[in-house]
Structure formats: C-alpha cells, structure tokens
Amino acid sequence: MRYRWAAALLGGALTMFVVGCAAPAEHPPDPPRAATGPIRVDYGTLTDNYGHLYVPAGPGPHPVVVMVHGGGWIEDHDLSYFEPLSEALVGEGVAVWNIEYRRVGGAGGWPDALADADDATEALATTVQDATEGRLDLDRVHVAGHSAGGHLAAWIAGRHTLPEGAPGVQPQIRPRSATIMAGVLDLPLAATAGHDAFVRGLLGGMPDEHPDRYRIASPIAHVPIGLPVTALHGTADQTVDPASPTTTWRQRPLSGTRLPCG
C-alpha cells in the first residue's frame, strides 16, 4: 500500500514537471499516446543489469525519465512496483527507463548499486537508444526515484560533481532535473540520528568506519549540483525518518534553485 501511494504522488509530480514545464519551447510535449513495451534491455552482463523501457508511439524525439525503485537497496524489492507509474507516464508522451540494479542480500551493496545506477543511466546513449531506433531526446532526461531509489536518483543527478576515481564520475548523460520521493539525501545523518540500518547495509558499516564511502554516496555532500531538484517527503513517514532528509534539505537545497513551475 505504501508503495502504491508513493507511486501515485510521484506520478503526479513527474507528469507536471516533465510534461508541463521541463520541455523547452522548441520541443513541445507530445500528445498522449498508447504505451509500447515494456521492452527489456540489458545494460550489462550481470543478472540485475537490465531495465524495462517504455516508449511512446510516434517518431519522437521523446523526453525520458530514468526511474529508480526503492526498497532499502535490498534484494526483496525490484522494479515491478514502478510499472503502473511507467505506463501512466508513457501515456503522456514520456519515455521511461525503469532500471534494476544489484542490491544488498544479492550481488549488490557498496559500490555496486551506485555503479549500476550510473551504468544504467549511461546506457541511454547506447543500448537503450538503439532499442528505440534513435527516438529518445537525450537533452531532456529527468531522473526520479522513491525511498532508496530516491537516494540513487539524487546521486545520479549530482554524480558529475564527484572526485576522480568515484563511480559515476564524468558522465555522458546529464539529467536536467530530478524528482525525489522520500529519498535519503544525507546518509551519515540517516545512519546515526536516523538509526537507518538499510544505509549501514548499503555501505557496509557506520560513517566512522567508512567515511570515504559515505562522502561519495551521500547526495547532500556534493551540493550545489546545478539543476532543479524536487524533494517530496511525508512528515509521518515511519520508514525513512523525515528529519534526516527534510531538515537537511531546508538548510542546504540540492539544486540551489526553486522549481521553474513554482
């Protein structure tokens, strides 16, 4: 139930942002169309290196949302709960790349989940674009995620600020905006003040044990990132402590700007 509610709210924000105001004047949004897909596309050779691609009918070029599912970065949850939202967005003329990644309890953890999120996003320029026969507008890429996927989406949006040697540094695909639903934006704060065991599972320990991992993986450590970010979080969230992302967001906004649609 929590995931269905989150998907519905995130879907409203994405439709408004991507269709209503993210497209530049020279690329008006496509009219609503029937969905085609999903098409499974592999972006790597490992079991979890794949995503489901949804493409509107017509020649395009279509704006793209990279969708990153949550679930504590653990193997128990996969990309399936974002399928209804993906179908809704493709009906609005937006292509959706709903990605899977290696997770804790399976083959994932540090740094694999982050590396996969980067590889999946970079695949928009190669295997994913090839699967659409060139119908994606890679100048209009938006990234969105929920919960643990919200963390990864925020990390994708800011990975161009990472130091040399970090996973995801010098990306070819640069999102122009991001929507984060109940995301964990300050990982050290979440692991300590928020007592978030999922964060410790992702990074293999506490911040004092792995300071470099926390510094690279925590989106709030890399602001400003130079693009608009919408962060949505319920004040009664009992899974991701709202004090961790919300308080930090108010002090240090990820984008340094407000939404262009007000």
- Please give the single-letter amino acid code of residue 147: S
More confident residue, 134 or 256: 134
31-40, 63-72, 137-146, 225-234: segment of lowest average pLDDT: 31-40
**Is 196 within the bounds of a domain?**
yes
- The pair of three-digit structure tokens given for residue 217, joined into one six-digit string: 């993986």
What are 47's two structure tokens? 């079991």
Model pTM? Answer: 0.84
- What region, left, alpha or beta, does residue 197 occupy, with left being phi > 0 and alpha being psi -120 to 50 degrees? alpha
Q: How many domains does the chain have?
A: 1
3-state secondary structure of 173: coil
229 falls within a domain: yes
All residues at 6 or more sequence positions from 88 whose CB lies less than 8 Å from its CB, including other chains: 11, 15
Where in the sequence is the domain holding 203, given as residue range(s)?
Answer: 2-19+36-251
Q: Is residue 149 part of a domain?
A: yes
**Domain assignment of residue 29, yes or no:** no
Residue 222 lies in a domain: yes
- Could you tell me the sign of the dihedral formed by the alpha carbons of 149, 151, 152, 154, in that order? positive
Instruction: Check if the beta carbon of residue 118 is closer than 8 Å to that of residue 43.
Output: no
What pLDDT is stored for residue 233 in this prediction? Answer: 83
Backbone φ and ψ for 214, nearest 5 degrees, come out as -65, -40
pLDDT at 228 over 60: yes
